[in-house]
Amino acid sequence: MKQVGSWIRGRLGVASSYALCAVLFVIGAIHSPGFASASNIRQMLVFASFVGFAALGQTLVIIAGGLDLTVPWLMAFGGIELSRLAAGGMPAVPAIALVVAIGAIIGLINGVGVTWLRIAPIVMTLAMGGLVQAFLLAVGELQSTGDQVPAVAVHLASNRVGPFPVVAIVWLGFAVAAGIVLSRSAFGRRLYAVGANDTVAWLSGVNVALIRILTYTISGAMTTFGGVVLAGYVGTTYLDIGGPYLFTSIAAVIIGGASILGGSGSYWGTVAGALTLTVLSSLLPLFQLSNAGLEIVYGVVILIGVWLASTGHRLLGRLWRRGLALPDNMQGGAGDVSA
Amino acid sequence: MSGVLLKLTGVRKRFGAVRVLEGASLEARAGEVHAVLGENGAGKSTLMRILAGVISADAGQVTLDGRAVSLGSPSAAVAAGIRTVFQDLSVIPQLTVADNLLYGSETSARGLVLRRRRQELARKLLDGFGLGRIDTAAPVSELGLGDRQLLEVVKALRKSPRVLILDEATSALSATDSAWVLAQGRAAAAAGAAVLLITHRLHEVRATADRITVLRSGVDVLNGTVDELEDDALITAMLGRRAEVLYPSRVPPSAEDVLKVVGLVAQGLPGPIDLQVNRGEILGVGGLQGQGQRELLMALAGAQPWAGGVATLLGAAYAPRSPREALRRGVAYVPEDRQREGLFLGHSVQSNITISGLGSFVRHGLLDARAELRAAQDAAARVGISHDRLSARASTMSGGNQQKVVLAKALLGEPAVLLLHDCTRGVDVGTKAEIFELMSRIAAAGTAILFYSSDLSELVHVCDRVAVIAEGRLGAVISRDELTEDAILRVAVRLTAGSHGRVAA
Amino acid sequence: MSSSAPTRRLPRLGVAMPQRLSWNSALTAAILLALIIIDLSIQPALANLTQIGLLVETAMPLVMVSVAQTLIVLVGGIDLSVGGMFVVANAVTVVWVGGGGGAHQLLIVAAFAVGIAMGTLNGLLVTGLGFQPFIATLGTWTIYNGIALTILPTDGGTPPPFLSNFMVATVFGVPTSIVMLVVVFLAWRCLRATRFGGRIYAVGADEERARLNGTSVRRVKLAVYGLAGLCAAIGGIYAAGADVSGTPTAGDAYILMSVAVVVIGGTSLRGGEGGVGVTLMGAMALTLINDIVDALNLNTWVSVAASASLLLVMVAGRTLVEAQLRQRRRR
């Protein structure tokens, strides 16, 4: 019993992210019955999985103490490059494999720049994003776009197995795999070590450079894959298609309880973050909120979500135990939100 | 006879579960140097940090001139006239000497003119203290540790303080620099300040202080004038018992060499260093502080590239390019700074211990949790950490226990060579004895140990031989029968005569 | 005594400046100079005050946002909400201040105040609630964007007349944009020389030590965030004048660009090193790249690629020089 208690306590951060998501969902369901319908839930799962793909690599990168800003451009790259290859006559499956491989290589370059050249992650990935953007602009300017997205990608994004969308199942598979790798593999443990303190990790015999490079490589591959699926869903490609995902991929990770300083976090937390963001963006239009209102609420929820995942749940727990009496020592500062 | 200027009564402070101060009291008089003595962990530094406004007390009162003062922040303490020479320095490396000295008193004016004016002010200040050799325009990061400490003193004395705190201000200094700092302390007292002196060196107390207070376990247990108190009485008061033999018995090492180094050269270690450690031997690494000992151990641990030299480990060539390679070859390193280089403070004790050996717990691609736990338990048992602490966060452990965790981590892979960098610094006497006992046991089991300590008496009592390093070169290797503190110091000082090293311990 | 503990130091170029800063800014200046020469050789007609003034006018919104970013980076933070603060001030200027045909021109003060308020909110989240700067400003970024869209739902509005006049005015024949650039630089130099200026660097370099020196880290940071809000707002106000219209979605582009400018200029993302001076040069360098690409009639992608490459080259170059210096210092 005591162990169960400590297990839960150790995961309160993640649990509070799911709780936030559930609360938002219930609000939506109460407000409009259609919100909890199977088709709407499916729709939200599909949207959430795009965020989830982009945020998987981001989770690993952030746990290792880095940051990946190439996300929006790699999302766009996935779809545009796939369509281009397909238009050139390449069969869809090898084309997808090739595109994802190129994404991985771009991620690899990020990793090499960050580890070997010791360029700050923000700067390195920002510059790489710029180069990818330049490539996409060049492709768009030098030849006509509007190529068809191959049918395989379209099917992947819109088919179902029974009541479940294929993308969501793929996402679940990735989540299970990422969860196991992070908590049960040597790579996962070394990843947390690198993020917590890279000097200690290095002196403890961890191949810090390799771990870091791997995280960026995985991030590059996963984000590009997300771009392929997204293009399949939208049915067409354009340069700004990845725009929203810079923000959401990072927000999902930190709402999920990871520290932006590295060394903590989990992919199941990120899944909660992705779901929360998606539920929120489907919920707000129901309240006739304009785009502007949506953005404001988005930001507020992110701040609340991060606060809940880091210190808020402890504070709320304390309040709860005191029978909701205000604690006497509660002053302006709520302590250290380390996320 | 001057009156009491500063009075602390019943000061209490705890950090989490650890009670550091349990009602400590202190009275310091204007015009006197008042030494505060005590073992590591007795609460001296905590008391001084409370006075400096860095941390706040849980209970107790501080009065200055009979009036209660509240020391809520460093600036409040400064405003009250309390100036502190901090042990871990408050000078900011990125700023220039002048900017540091005049910090907080910049006046707004036009660019260049102002900068020149500030240089002049700083220049005048330093000249006044006889430190004309320090360049006021240099960033502090370019100064040596000793000079930074002197700057710290000048900074504290700049606006003649009412209370001056010298918190182990001499521990990193050479004898001449120490004497200078202590003289400044005396001068401040002569000018009417109450000076609080924290030091581990009794001879400094005898030479400088008028009055002594001894702290033990967070309470003041003894006070009086220097003349009343004998050394014996002081030590008894500090330890709470007669100092007993701390050092373990040793099994003589074998003559079979484990690690043999010829002509080692690395950055900060001009060398060439020739060394040999045998099975079961504890080879001390001694000398003044900062003479290349860190670089030597780092190079052997693969954490610093070699510029030259060859080595053999258990008969095979050894030239590690990374700590990973060194560990794989059986060379484990316990770094100098356990908090920054040794531990993942936010992770559990178990994850800390097993990080270097994760590869050996992998079954079918995943970690075997049970095998990992067993290995962690074994390692913890060897260093004397109880099993129920394995799931605790490393940050919640005391300093001594943290050091044990680092040792357990190094021992996990059954190393052939163990490199220990000052692993007893900042550790309480009891844990120290345990660590020496552990070293002795590991050595008896056949491990070769290189042990650098800043405390000469430890080297003398624990080691089989001591290699003295001076200016990055090997001065001499002193054998067991000639091993005295005196002998080590002689080699260290002769080699660095006229080149300004700092005396260890 | 005086013989003890020798200090090793590098040969120094000037007396007053730390070595690092001088090679750092020299590098940025060299790049900027090279770009100026290239641009002038392509379009010699550019070499007159009016043309330069127009170029600086183009650069000014980026300059001000980058100055805001620099301040935050100097205290060891990062600000993703600079774009949000930019657009709120932009919207306020064209709707509240410019609305009613310029009857409420004094409301410009409100536009400044709104900037300070938004920056201060960021500062409160960081210093009061302990949010990491990245996270806090990630949240306020979208909040401020939303506020801007509420005030001005689509592109449009009109800036107040005095702002339009300011754009075309000259001071002794010098266009106001150039004057403003110089004023920003001088204001920074003065600030740098004050007690507060010194504290910005101390807090950025080492918060704990700054605290030991009696500095209230919270207060310094709060002030810096507020000041950054003001700078970003000035950028938005200026853009309203330059574009003769408001654009509530223009902010996002400036966020990462301002980080790039700060880094190209040579301010360290670790905090405590660099300054506004080099940032001004960095912003002008990026603007020149665009100008050159335009003049050569090249495609947009060339300018994007060139900017990204410049960022990489500057950063990698600095890392290498720094490593060299550190090695030399050790010897």
Tokens for A104, please give them.
């991985």
Inter-chain CB proximity C301 and A134 less than 8 Å: yes
**pLDDT digit string, tens, across residues C183-211:** 999 999 888 877 888 889 999 988 888 88
**Chains contacting C (3 or more CB pairs within 8 Å):** A, B
Inter-chain CB proximity C308 and A254 less than 8 Å: no
The Cα of C258 is separated from the nearest Cα of chain B by a number of Å equal to: 24
How many structural domains does chain C have? 1
Q: Is B399 exposed, middle or buried (0-12, 13-18, 19+ CB in 10 A)?
A: middle
Q: Is C300 on the interface with A (CB under 8 A)?
A: yes
Contact B64, B112 (CB under 8 A): no
Inter-chain CB proximity A202 and B323 less than 8 Å: yes
pLDDT at A2 over 50: no
- What pLDDT is recorded for position B2? 55
> Per-residue pLDDT averaged across B46-62, rounded?
89
Inter-chain CB proximity B346 and A207 less than 8 Å: no
Distance in angstroms (rounded) separating the CA atoms of residues C244 and C160: 9
pLDDT grade for B239, boundaries at 50, 70 and 90: low
Inter-chain CB proximity B90 and C212 less than 8 Å: yes
Tokens for A96, please give them.
């997808």
Distance in angstroms (rounded) separating the CA atoms of residues B148 and B140: 7
> Per-residue pLDDT averaged across B393-409, rounded?
87
Inter-chain CB proximity A137 and C146 less than 8 Å: no
User: Which has the closest alpha carbon to B199: B188, B186, B214?
Assistant: B214
Q: Is A290 helix (H, G, I), strand (E, B) or coil?
A: coil
> Per-residue pLDDT averaged across B125-154, rounded?
84
pLDDT at B35 over 80: yes
* Identical fold between B4-239 and B257-330+414-495: yes
Distance in angstroms (rounded) separating the CA atoms of residues C305 and C287: 14
Inter-chain CB proximity B301 and A203 less than 8 Å: yes
pLDDT at C6 over 50: no
**pLDDT digit string, tens, across residues C12-35:** 333 334 444 567 888 899 999 999
Residue of A200, A202, A211, A338 to mutate, interface with B, max B Cβ within 10 Å? A200
When CB atoms are compared, the residue of A118, A294, A306 closest to C135 is: A306
User: Looking at beta carbons, which residues of chain A come within 8 Å of C148?
Assistant: 292
User: Looking at beta carbons, which residues of chain A come within 8 Å of B356?
Assistant: 204-206
pLDDT at A325 over 50: no
> Per-residue pLDDT averaged across A73-79, rounded?
93
What is chain A's mean pLDDT, rounded?
A: 85
User: Looking at beta carbons, which residues of chain C come within 8 Å of B92?
Assistant: 201-202, 205-206, 209-210, 213, 272
When CB atoms are compared, the residue of B340, B358, B365 closest to A189 is: B358
Distance in angstroms (rounded) separating the CA atoms of residues C92 and C111: 6
A211-220, A279-288, B100-109, C1-10: segment of lowest average pLDDT: C1-10
Residue that is written with structure tokens 């209370």 in the block: B163
pLDDT at B88 over 90: no
User: Which has the closest alpha carbon to C197: C272, C282, C125?
Assistant: C272
When CB atoms are compared, the residue of C125, C135, C149 closest to A339 is: C135
- What pLDDT is recorded for position B503? 39
Distance in angstroms (rounded) separating the CA atoms of residues B9 and B27: 9
Q: By percentage, how much of chain A surpasses pLDDT 90?
A: 47
The CATH architecture of the domain made up of B4-239 is: 3-Layer(aba) Sandwich (3.40)
Exposure class string for C137-172: b at 16+ Cβ within 10 A, else e? bbbbbbbbbbbbbbbbeeeebbbbeebbebbeeeee
With respect to residue C270, please indicate whether it lies within any of the assigned structural domains.
Answer: yes
Q: Is C240 helix (H, G, I), strand (E, B) or coil?
A: helix
pLDDT grade for A334, boundaries at 50, 70 and 90: very low
Distance in angstroms (rounded) separating the CA atoms of residues B334 and A143: 60
CA C262 to chain centroid, in Å, comes to 7
Q: By percentage, how much of chain B surpasses pLDDT 90?
A: 29
- What pLDDT is recorded for position B495? 59
Inter-chain CB proximity C195 and B107 less than 8 Å: yes
- What pLDDT is recorded for position B114? 66
User: Which has the closest alpha carbon to B434: B305, B247, B273?
Assistant: B247
- What pLDDT is recorded for position A336? 37
Question: What DSSP state is assigned to residue A161?
Answer: E
Distance in angstroms (rounded) separating the CA atoms of residues C150 and C146: 6
- What pLDDT is recorded for position C52? 92
Q: Is B165 helix (H, G, I), strand (E, B) or coil?
A: strand
- What pLDDT is recorded for position B497? 45
What is chain C's mean pLDDT, rounded?
A: 87
Chain C residue whose CA is closest to A304: C139
B38-42, B248-252, B263-267, C159-163: segment of lowest average pLDDT: B38-42
Inter-chain CB proximity A202 and B303 less than 8 Å: yes
- What pLDDT is recorded for position A1? 45
Residue of B48, B56, B71, B95 to mutate, interface with C, max C Cβ within 10 Å? B95
C-alpha torsion sign, points A24, A26, A29, A30: negative
Count B/C contacts: CB-CB distance under 8 Å.
Answer: 134
pLDDT at A332 over 60: no
Greatest CA span in chain A, whole angstroms? 71
Distance in angstroms (rounded) separating the CA atoms of residues C122 and C225: 7
The Cα of A199 is separated from the nearest Cα of chain B by a number of Å equal to: 6
A81-90, B237-246, C77-86: segment of lowest average pLDDT: B237-246
- What pLDDT is recorded for position C175? 93
The Cα of C163 is separated from the nearest Cα of chain A by a number of Å equal to: 27
A131-145, B462-476, C253-267: segment of lowest average pLDDT: A131-145
Tokens for A19, please give them.
């709780």
pLDDT grade for C316, boundaries at 50, 70 and 90: confident
> Per-residue pLDDT averaged across B49-72, rounded?
88
Tokens for A323, please give them.
């029978």
Tokens for A239, please give them.
């340069």
pLDDT grade for A146, boundaries at 50, 70 and 90: low
> Per-residue pLDDT averaged across A72-82, rounded?
93
**pLDDT digit string, tens, across residues A31-53:** 888 888 888 899 899 999 999 99
> Per-residue pLDDT averaged across B2-30, rounded?
83
Bigger pLDDT: A337 or A177?
A177
pLDDT at B376 over 70: yes
- What pLDDT is recorded for position A317? 63
Binding-site residues on chain B for chain A (CB distance < 8 A): 301, 303, 322-324, 326-328, 333, 335, 340-347, 351, 355-356, 358-359, 361-362, 365-367, 369, 409
A264-268, B15-19, B352-356: segment of lowest average pLDDT: B15-19
pLDDT grade for A329, boundaries at 50, 70 and 90: very low
- What pLDDT is recorded for position C329? 60
The CATH architecture of the domain made up of B257-330+414-495 is: 3-Layer(aba) Sandwich (3.40)
Inter-chain CB proximity B143 and C10 less than 8 Å: no
Contact B32, B185 (CB under 8 A): no
pLDDT grade for C3, boundaries at 50, 70 and 90: very low
3-state secondary structure string, B74-85?
HHHHHHCCEEEE
3-state secondary structure string, B377-424?
HHHHHHHCCCHHHCCCEHHHCCHHHHHHHHHHHHHCCCCCEEEEECCC
Residue of A73, A131, A255 to mutate, interface with C, max C Cβ within 10 Å? A131
- What pLDDT is recorded for position B3? 78
CATH code, C58: 1.10.3470
Contact B97, B151 (CB under 8 A): yes
With respect to residue C25, please indicate whether it lies within any of the assigned structural domains.
Answer: yes
Domain coverage including residue C251? 19-32+49-321
User: Looking at beta carbons, which residues of chain A come within 8 Å of B351?
Assistant: 189, 192-193
Domain ranges of chain B: 4-239, 257-330+414-495
Residue of A254, A303, A314, A338 to mutate, interface with C, max C Cβ within 10 Å? A303
Chain C residue whose CA is closest to B138: C18
Inter-chain CB proximity B344 and A197 less than 8 Å: yes
Tokens for A17, please give them.
């992210």
When CB atoms are compared, the residue of B322, B335, B355 closest to A193 is: B355
Tokens for C306, please give them.
């060139």
Chain A residue whose CA is closest to B345: A196
Distance in angstroms (rounded) separating the CA atoms of residues C172 and A278: 57
Inter-chain CB proximity C316 and A333 less than 8 Å: no
Distance in angstroms (rounded) separating the CA atoms of residues B151 and C244: 56
> Per-residue pLDDT averaged across B142-160, rounded?
83
Q: Is C136 on the interface with A (CB under 8 A)?
A: yes
When CB atoms are compared, the residue of C141, C153, C263 closest to A123 is: C263
Cα radius of gyration rounded to whole Å, chain C: 21
> Per-residue pLDDT averaged across B325-338, rounded?
92
User: Which has the closest alpha carbon to B32: B193, B226, B164?
Assistant: B193
- What pLDDT is recorded for position A319? 63
Contact C63, C181 (CB under 8 A): yes
In chain C the beta strands, taken as DSSP E runs, fall at: 170-171, 174-175
With respect to residue C329, please indicate whether it lies within any of the assigned structural domains.
Answer: no
- What pLDDT is recorded for position C5? 36
Residue of A106, A126, A301 to mutate, interface with C, max C Cβ within 10 Å? A126
